[in-house]
A and B are shown apart, each in its own frame.
Chain A
Amino acid sequence: MSIISEHGFRMDGRRPAQIRNINTRLGLNRNAEGSCYLEHGNTKVLCAVYGPYESKASKRLEDRCAIVCQYSTTTFSGLERKNRPRGDRKSTEISRLLEKAFESVILTESFPRSQIDIFCEVIQGDGSNLAACVNATSLALADAGIPMKGIASAATCGIVETKPIVDLTSREETDLLPRVTLATICGRDEVILVELQNRLHIDHLSVVMDAAKATCADVYECLAVVAQQHLKACAPILGN
């Protein structure tokens, strides 16, 4: 099974540098300040944002607001049913990564001594889960009206025999394939998150990074459309 066929297509009919279709719905969860349901093809993620509110004493920071994130997967998100959906090493790592990334996007100095909670739940995982969470979170934050430097967008990019492929599905995320997840702000050259899985040869790094940056810009285009449409839909409520 080759990831890029002789004809230059991937197993699902995409070209190597194409992303999957993105589907979203904002404001599903009325209890939360902001929420977003996002699909990257078959990867489906739900994100809810609470806050900012006055933080607990233990988390309180005097000069800025604290970001607390929890990443989890449903028991039925993968091929096999998982018994412990949260709190394992991998989920914790992803939670910390998301916190770090969004600390640099949200204008945290605006809310000293307060806290923002982000909950990300993967409903169905079909590759590029972290990237989907970043994208869902940034839309949920936008839905909550939290001031940010811009909309963050993320993409996963791998390399197959010197050729980059983007937005990997779970079938493409094989054990040995080096994968980079990159997140930037507004598709510009401002990187807020990089994660590497498996070993990547140094010669391929620039290739992967360039492909990932370009893809982040593509994803940003889509997210911007979502944000604009949502804003238009909300216009009657807001009045102008």
Chain B
Amino acid sequence: MDLNVKQSGIHSCVLHTSYFKNRSGKVYKRAAERYLRTDLPCGLAQCEDCKDFGTNSLLKTENPVKNSKVGRHVLIVDSTSLIRFHDLFDSELLRNIIVTQTVWEGVKAKAVPAYKKMNSLCYEDAKDRFHVFMNEFHCETFSDITKYEDVSRGEELLLCTANYLTSHWEKQNVTPVLMVFDEESKKRLEKHYQHVLYLKEYIQNLEDSGKQALLDQMAAYESSANNNERQIFEEHLSHDKIMDGIANGTIKRGTFSVSRENYREASVIIDDQLNSWFITGNHCNRSVNGDVVAVQLLPEDQWTCPEKKIRLRDVEEYVNNADDMGKVEEDDEDEPKAKKAKKNSVPTAKVVGIIKRNWRQYCGMLLPSSVKGARRHLFCPAERLIPRIRIETEQAEILSQQRIVVAIDHWPRDSKYPLGHYVRSIGEMGSRETENEVLLLEHDIPHAPFSDQVIDCLPKEEWEPDLNDNRGTLPRVDLRHLTICSVDPQGCTDIDDALHCKQIGDDLFEVGVHIADVTHFVRPNTAIDDEAALRGTTVYLCDRRIDMLPCLLSSNLCSLRGGEERYAFSVIWTMTSNADIQSVKYHKSLIKSKAALTYERAQEIIDDPKEQGDVAQGLRELMKLSKVLNSQRTSNGALTLASSEVRFDMDWESRTPKKVMEKQHLDTHSMVEEFMLLANIQVAKKILEEYPDCALLRRHPVPLKESYKPLIEAARHRGFEIIVESGKGLADSLNRCVDKKNPMLNRLLRMLTTRCMTQAVYFSAGTVPVPQYQHFGLACSIYTHFTSPIRRYADVIVHRLLAAAINADDIQSGLLSQARCTKVCGNINYRHKQAQYAGRASVQLNVVRYFKGKVETCEGFVMGVRNNGIQVFVPKYGLESIIVLQPGSGTTIDVEEMAVKVNGEAVIRELEPVTVKISVNEKNQQRPRVELQLIKPAIPGLSVDFDLSTSEGLGL
């Protein structure tokens, strides 16, 4: 007597038992029910029986696919096709496809990228081409007994589905066709079912001209069949062996990262030990940067050390003059010999298996092939750390002038390069749009226009501020009478902070920081919030800004523009002229900024004694207080660091760089900065006190003493001592490093310091020990980001937390969950880093554009000395390149002494100035690049240079 709700769609219920192991290895048996249903749609638009059950979209379109093998048909795909060829399914030519539940689960378990693609195809982008058939819940297609001996379980379930659909669609005259991966499985299935085709056969028989592009995409797989006896790489261990090895400690798991200076060297950061092992040459064993790999330590006598030699693929090609990239290069490069200098050897390991691939789609271009009309080509990814990829295409002629996207499919043992296939073209090489698109794709920056759902979340255009429009119990305070002003860079449209200062008593000042009240508009669990959380930050490129929030909010309603009433979140202190804080209060407010100033204008107002208005007086008081705050902070040991970043002044009409802006430092910059820091610290304290287990904070880890080694060495050669015991010691010793002959020295050392440090990161309170909450660079015990909610998502969360803490808003669901906070932090840390890299890449791109047809002689500095070249930094353009030493010119490089020697005499040392000529090398039409030539001192053999990505900076 099975009772259930009437018309529940449940046909019957079967029991199935499964066994599973718990953490300690005990085995349990579990019996679970499975309800078989009658209300599952078959997907066919014309099917009368299924039309009430859900969306049926198949064969709806009036232009059915024409295939010479079968008539009106629907395709049922297998999981291997989806895993291997998921990119193919983007094509409109493949229509009317059924993905069965079994296939879905199979793909989900085996391949994450394929699963993501399948999910977006079936439920977002191509809903009308795909249908998911729930075969395992369908009462007709569920089967728990094996009928056929010669096919696998997955194939049998496909047959079940196909047989059911054949009888179900008898009246409609539609044939379900099983589309399988290759001929072999077709042979197996053909015995049991009439209409089986394999993917290639199906595409070949399509009656459509677009099929050639599809065939090209498929081509990568067939090439691996050739029987090359020569195996380059060792075989990977099986999954079980790796797991056993990890369990008994002989194998470690870690993340593979290729060296930026030498593509044949890499290090693996071991997960559970936080140290890294060195890997060189073929021991990398087909790992690609970012893969999670299993590594095994080599015996100690095989340990080596990094070559300290710059090896970039471009360099070697240049030197070898290898022009035939179409063939496998006979690379007789001997493995870097075990160094005689054994004392320097570091733990060296080899990769024995890949646990998780980090493959994605790569942007780049085809390398020119010397053989005309060849099918096999090498693809060069834009990302330098990714190896060349071999692809096959018939369209090389067209593609050679384009930026294209390529995916890696597999990397067989006998191939020097991974094999991949062409996915799509981005556009003409060298055009501004294409290059920007490449940049955004490579840095994984979501840059599509905002969706309609997001736009729907925006308030109406004729929005009016209303003092009583308040969500929490704490009322919004009217601050329109205060003289508030904002100070920002020229041309800034997203103004998110404003300041005021008022004398309220004898030696008593009221100072306020007012931040745009973004969370009033961006409510949690709305489309706009989800989008902002995904984007994480606004990305600034030289010629474009990719907003985190739609324009209406970022440049209008949230922007604290001069003379307009805006909502704000205010932090207001009472302090003495010594910047002793007497009290602090937080509340939401309504403000009217009196003036939106630029840094330059604000400086003028302060300096001009004729200006005696409220604004001027306020600014002067703020300036005085900020100086006090700054000296307090510096005495605590806050670091002043330097970066190599520059900004371009753009010609917005043609979007070309006009000139490089010198980053001028005005007192007003530090004035605003001091108050923002103060507000951030104050808010961090407040939210941590209220929510000690889920407050979103920002920390900057104290660097390890070892990581300072390059800095200490460099300074020692210049005759300075760097103390790294404490932040204060470091700051003081950096201040002492002043060389009258070389005024840039101090900045260069500060740049080196930046490179010794790790990035600051967001984290949720309660996830690391309290002493590690500290922000090393700013020398404060806790810190967060509160002051830029328009362009950073972290600030949005902090606003919500603070609002909840002071009852200015409800506590929204999920806000106080540590797990969620950690998840958000993970994403914004990633986005923040990618945005920084993208910004730098954009500068580099524009440097090339700027130098097109120009030659300039500039001052540069030697940032590093390597075995075969020197690294030169040109501060004016933030350019860092390598000048490679040509062998056999009598010039030697002494890495120990960090000097270049001609005939045994040191000519250049690290951190010394040199003169270089900058020009664009357009020899390679595909890739114009900036070239440095050493002019002074002239050293034989040091003339060729290669562009090196700038190293990582420190985001405060």
Contacts and interface: CB of A to CB of B under 8 A. Distances in A.
Interface of A: 6-7, 9, 11-15, 18-24, 41-42, 79-80, 162, 169, 171, 201-204, 218, 221-222, 225-226
Contacts of B1: 23-24, 226
Contacts of A20: 4, 33, 35
Interface in B90-145: 101, 104, 119, 122-123, 132, 134, 136-137
A22 B4 contact: yes
Contacts of A169: 32-33
Given A21-B13, A203-B813, A221 B31 contact: no
Given A6-B123, A18-B8, A201-B814, A23 B2 contact: yes
B34 interface: yes
A218 B101 contact: no
A19 B4 contact: yes
B325 interface: no
B5 A221 contact: yes
A28 to B, nearest CB: 14
B22 to A, nearest CB: 9
A7 B5 contact: no
A13 B34 contact: yes
A42 B34 CA distance: 11
A152 B136 CA distance: 35
5 contacts: A12-B33, A14-B35, A20-B35, A42-B31, A222-B5
B736 to A, nearest CB: 54
Contact of B30 (A13, A19, A23, A79): A79
A12 B813 CA distance: 28
A134 B423 CA distance: 59
Contacts of B903: none
Nearest to A159: B813
Interface residues of B, number: 34
A7 B33 contact: no
Given A21-B10, A79-B28, A203-B812, A12 B34 contact: yes
B133 to A, nearest CB: 10
A204 B813 contact: yes
A9 B134 contact: yes
A117 to B, nearest CB: 27
A80 B26 CA distance: 10
A218 B119 contact: no
A201 B101 CA distance: 33
B651 to A, nearest CB: 48
A232 to B, nearest CB: 13
A42 B123 contact: no
B37 interface: yes
Interface string B1-45: 111111011100101000000000000101111111100000000
B5 A218 contact: yes
B814 A80 contact: no
Given A42-B31, A162-B525, A169-B32, A7 B3 contact: no
A82 to B, nearest CB: 14
Contact of A171 (B3, B32, B122, B812): B32
Contacts of A222: 3-5
A14 B36 CA distance: 9
A155 B742 CA distance: 79
Contacts of B132: 6-7
A33 B137 CA distance: 42
Nearest to B101: A7
Contacts of A13: 34-37, 136-137
A21 to B, nearest CB: 4
A80 B33 contact: no
A19 B35 CA distance: 11
Contacts of B13: 21, 41
Contacts of B36: 13
Given A14-B10, A19-B4, A226-B3, 15 more contacts: A6-B122, A7-B101, A12-B32, A18-B8, A18-B35, A21-B3, A21-B35, A22-B4, A42-B32, A42-B33, A169-B33, A201-B813, A204-B813, A222-B5, A225-B3
Nearest to B36: A13
Nearest to B9: A15
Given A6-B119, A7-B132, A12-B33, A23 B813 contact: no
Nearest to A124: B31
Contact of B33 (A9, A41, A218): A41
Contacts of A9: 134, 137
Contacts of B813: 162, 201-204
Contacts of B28: 79-80
A166 to B, nearest CB: 11
Contacts of A226: 1, 3
Nearest to B119: A6
B814 to A, nearest CB: 7
Contacts of A24: 1, 3
A26 to B, nearest CB: 11
A12 to B, nearest CB: 5
A14 B814 CA distance: 27
Contacts of B4: 18-22, 222
A80 B29 CA distance: 9
A225 B3 CA distance: 9
A19 B101 CA distance: 22
Nearest to B108: A6
Contacts of B33: 12, 20, 41-42, 169
Given A7-B134, A162-B525, A18 B5 contact: yes
Most chain B C-beta atoms within 10 Å of own C-beta, residue among A13, A41, A222, A226: A13
A43 B50 CA distance: 33
Nearest to A39: B2
* Cβ-closest 8 pairs across A and B: A201-B813, A13-B35, A13-B137, A222-B3, A21-B2, A22-B3, A218-B5, A79-B28
A156 B119 CA distance: 31
A12 B3 contact: no
Interface string B800-828: 00000000001011100000000000000
Contacts of B101: 7
Nearest to B815: A201
A225 B32 CA distance: 26
A23 B3 contact: yes
Contacts of A201: 812-814
A171 B34 CA distance: 13
Contacts of B104: 6-7
Contacts of A80: 28
A45 B142 CA distance: 29
Contacts of B810: 202
Contacts of B37: 13
A4 B134 CA distance: 14
Nearest to B118: A6
A226 B3 CA distance: 9
Nearest to A229: B1
Nearest to B813: A201
A42 B31 CA distance: 8
A191 B136 CA distance: 38
A12 B136 CA distance: 10
B714 to A, nearest CB: 51
Contacts of B814: 201
A162 B812 CA distance: 12
A19 B2 CA distance: 12
A194 B9 CA distance: 29
Nearest to A223: B3
Interface in B461-503: none
Contacts of A7: 101, 104, 132, 134
A23 to B, nearest CB: 6
A205 to B, nearest CB: 10
Most chain A C-beta atoms within 10 Å of own C-beta, residue among B1, B15, B30, B132: B1
A9 B31 CA distance: 19
B810 to A, nearest CB: 8
A225 B5 CA distance: 11
B6 to A, nearest CB: 8
A20 B10 CA distance: 10
A132 to B, nearest CB: 13
